[in-house]
Amino acid sequence: MSNLPEQDNLTSKQNDYAVFLPAISGFYATFVGKQRNEQYVDPARMPAGLQDMEMMNWLNSQQALFPYKWSLYSGGHANLDLNKQDWSEDMVRSREPGTFMLGDSGGFQIATGALKWDMALRDRIFEWLENNSDIACNIDIPPRVTYEGRFQESLDISLDNFKYFEKKQTGKTKFLNVVQGSNPVEFSHWYKTVRDMEFGGWCIGSSRRLVDFMYILALMIKEKEFDKEYNTWVHLLGISKVSDFFILSQLQKLLNIHTNNRITVSTDSSSPGQYPIFGQMVWSPNWKDQVFNMLYFPKDSSNIVYPTTGHVPSLINHPGVEYLKWDTVKNYSTEAVTRLTYHNLYMYVYTADQVEKLVNTCPLEVLAELIPNDLIQILKSMEEMFVSSDPIAVYERYRQFYVKFGGENVMNIAKEVHEEFFNFADFNSFVEPKVVKKREKKEVVDETKETEEVPQQRIEDALGGWGELENI
């Protein structure tokens, strides 16, 4: 033990605020797994600098530079053969007691066609989730990508899966109900269809725009969803921008007050490992612009005169700094990506920690000196929702701020489909699809026609969030 580097336990920096779950990609787990399972290692293929990869396994409390017990892994990326040793996800399968894994269902991979959907796949994903995760999402089929324009079909398949999970769950893993949609009409219909199933909480998907999430939040408050004692967890998929941390910390603060600390809020992101692919290292959170300031190391660095000794500077002098040397980024490789990923994880948790302190100690009037007014209004609206007799009315009153800050929700389902299942009179914020001009064709196109005629397939951005996309 004396030869181990100094440690900095990141878990201790997570208190009663929203938990950030780094998504362990196959790429990251691969290199940790290779080292942990020497019988699979071909030394000739292992970069010399990666021989100490176990120091970068944050789930190893004894050897990691900074241990961190929280993580997410997707069943859509997993080796579902439980009887096969798999070094590429050994970081997940061999994690030590006391660590925490949230298992994503792989529904997005099914929607994209990366996984072929059938009943056998459902069985294998269920077994993998029960054996490898503490909390897991039910298998939902998002009404996007290949299921774009097929909302009711997506809901029907998802509902059947939820019933299967509800019946088969053993308690070994706590499963979460899932809500999906593209607009208030769909979110409400989906929620009211599945809400009576007694799972351990909720996973909110498809809320790629802040206006969508805020509607779901208002709806659940109105329906007293958070008053149900069996709900102990709310997970939001892939939300991890600077502004998102403010919103999630505010949600956790309010849920702590109104449920006596019963419900934990969490989110996940692969962004710490995605940025290094583009040569980016997180330097610091930018409170004014609500983005991360970055250092950039281009792969073609022939015109850059890097220092020949020392390490890359960091805003926070954590134990991993001395291992991120200038020659590593100069000769940009897998080693650089992996080491920067570990650094970025530290900066994400640091940001969440700073945001938690601001949200929980500063009145909004004081916080307004530091962050944009639109974000202040969003945080204020959340406070009002929890004490209002009509949370939907609060949503409507502040909707302009949600749209301005995070974009408009998209009506991407044919009007005929909506009218078959929904009563628009129940939704004040629903806007009839407009007839717009497509400039490139110089003709009027009716966007209320079937989506096959006007395809609107949008693959989810791995670096998504509720604010404007950062330049990467």
Q: Parse the chain into domains and list their residue ranges.
A: 11-273, 275-349
State the pLDDT at residue 49.
Answer: 54
The Cα 229–Cα 10 span in angstroms is: 30
Which CATH topology does 11-273 take? Answer: TIM Barrel (3.20.20)
State the pLDDT at residue 430.
Answer: 42
Please report the sign of the dihedral spanned by the C-alpha atoms of residue 157, residue 466, residue 344, residue 370.
negative
The Cα 326–Cα 320 span in angstroms is: 13
Q: What is the pLDDT of residues 284-300, one digit of tens each?
A: 999 999 999 999 998 88
3-state SS, residue 222: helix
State the pLDDT at residue 426.
Answer: 44
State the pLDDT at residue 113.
Answer: 74
- Crossing angle (nearest 10°) for helices 151-168 and 184-194: 30
State the pLDDT at residue 431.
Answer: 46
Q: How far apart, in Å, are the Cα atoms of 425 and each of 14, 131, 185, 428, 432?
A: 44, 45, 10, 7, 12
Supply the Cα-derived Rg of the chain in whole angstroms.
23
Backbone φ/ψ region at 437: left (φ over 0), alpha (ψ -120 to 50), beta: beta
State the pLDDT at residue 112.
Answer: 77
Q: What is the pLDDT of residues 346-399, one digit of tens each?
A: 999 999 999 999 999 999 999 999 999 999 999 999 999 999 999 999 999 999
State the pLDDT at residue 459.
Answer: 26
Residues in the chain predicted with pLDDT less than 50, given as ranges, are: 1-2, 410-464, 467-472
Q: How far apart, in Å, are the Cα atoms of 126 and each of 78, 105, 162, 394, 395?
A: 12, 8, 11, 39, 36
